[in-house]
Amino acid sequence: MFVDIAKIKIKAGDGGRGAVSFRREKYVAAGGPDGGDGGRGGNIVFQIDDNLSTLADFRYKRKYKAPNGEPGSGGRKNGRRGEDLIIKVPRGTVIREVESGAVMSDMSDDEPFIAAKGGRGGWGNDHFSTPTRQAPRFAKDGIPGEEWEVTLELKLLADVGLLGFPNVGKSTLVSVVSQAKPIIADYHFTTLTPVLGVVSMGEGSSFVMADIPGLIEGASEGIGLGHEFLRHVERCRMLVHILDAAGSEGRDPIEDFEIINAELEKFNPELAQRPQIVVANKIDLAEDEQIERLRSYIEGKGYKFLTMCAPITEGTKEVINAVWEMLGTLPPIKRYETEKIPATFFERQVEDRSFNISVQDGVYFVEAKWLLKILQRTDLDDYESLQYFQRVLQSSGIIEALVEKGIQEGETVSIYDLEFDFVF
């Protein structure tokens, strides 16, 4: 089954807890702290697998969790890091965060994408030793791993998309100009899934053509096979619109042309502006008057018009040469830019603004799950981001609560993996 959209939940591993341990050695009167750090949690990593062509595997498994990091131990031994969880997807998969709709990654090249980062391991008590705190009896918990609900949307990577009503000859064209072997039969919707074919133009030169399942009026609203396959046209650099010149199924090819373009406009206005070549197929069944009427109308609209009889390859070479010539003037295949999920988005999602402050050996520990996601997505090296984070601490009442706890200027505040000296 061809599946090109799926929704899943991903959870990176939590960091392991730091250890509270003291060095104990024969004939050593006072061993110092030697608790090791917890291991980092495993990441969730998406990776392209060119052997995959659909997202069908995600219909049955919807939750993915990477292993946690192991806790630290004595002797300054750090816990083992959690293994990364590799999730394989077809090339062309776009990953979006569900609620914000932001594009997290466009899996179009071979670079793996870390979608959810594992939490850092907690510090062992060895880190908290100071001249005035020589035997700290506390350590840090590991930080929770990132957690997202994402949609996976497959948008095929093709230079050229073939458009047209069912049974106009799209699959036949792909079969005679490439090595692709789509199912070809004389009934509607023979092609149920997009088919890619590589068209060779000589040594080292080729382009990818996509046979998109037949569209009908109302496709953008879900009629027929629906709009689900229109997403595969969105990346195409250009379109080849195939018409039945003979009107062999009782339809007017001019009316077909207008209907399909209207569906493109409804689905995505950008598609209606994509460069098109119009090809009249089945010319062996058409009268000269029919072809000339169609040519006059299409060229009057400003489109390049060609004719062919695909089953016997008449005119197909001219079509492919015209496509290759136009591709030479067009920009590369569309890639979706990564969009940053703003820290303010996480703030809006949070209803429970509770937090807890504990004090151990002069260190003020702030715990608040809602604050963690904001912290993870805030660039503390950027002045504006840092100012924003300070405003969050102020508006949430954390600063006021620290003062009520008796914090003094210069004492340490610890918020997960962030530590800073308190300043009034």
Is 220's pLDDT higher than 50?
no
The lowest-confidence range among 93-107, 217-231, 336-350 is 217-231
pLDDT tier at 184, thresholds 50, 70, 90: low
Q: How far apart are CA 358 and CA 367, in angstroms?
A: 8
Summarize the confidence of residues 216-231 as an average pLDDT: 52
C-alpha span between 402 and 424 (Å, rounded):
11
What integer pLDDT is reported at residue 214 of this predicted model?
58
- Domain residue limits, the chain: 1-155, 160-327, 342-424
CATH architecture of 160-327: 3-Layer(aba) Sandwich (3.40)
Selection from 138-147, 239-248, 359-368 with the highest mean pLDDT: 239-248
In the numeric block, the tokens 């392991």 are attached to 16
At residue 27 the predicted structure's pLDDT band, cuts being 50, 70 and 90, is low
CA distances from 419 to 103, 123, 261, 414 (A): 31, 12, 58, 4
Looking at CATH, the fold of the domain delimited by 1-155 is given as Spo0b-associated Gtp-binding Protein; Chain: A, (2.70.210)
What average pLDDT score do residues 1-24 get? 86
Contacts of 347 (CB under 8 A, 6+ apart): 374, 392
The share of the chain scoring above pLDDT 70, in percent, equals: 88
Nearest to 90 by CA among 44, 180, 154, 151: 154
Predicted confidence (pLDDT) at residue 20 exceeds the cutoff of 50:
yes
Q: What is the mean pLDDT of residues 45-67?
A: 91
Residue type at position 295: R
pLDDT at residue 186 greater than cutoff 80 = no
Identify which of 24-38, 131-145, 298-312, 376-390 has the greatest average pLDDT. 298-312
Q: Does domain 342-424 sit in CATH 3.30.1490.190?
A: no
Across the chain, what does the average pLDDT equal? 84
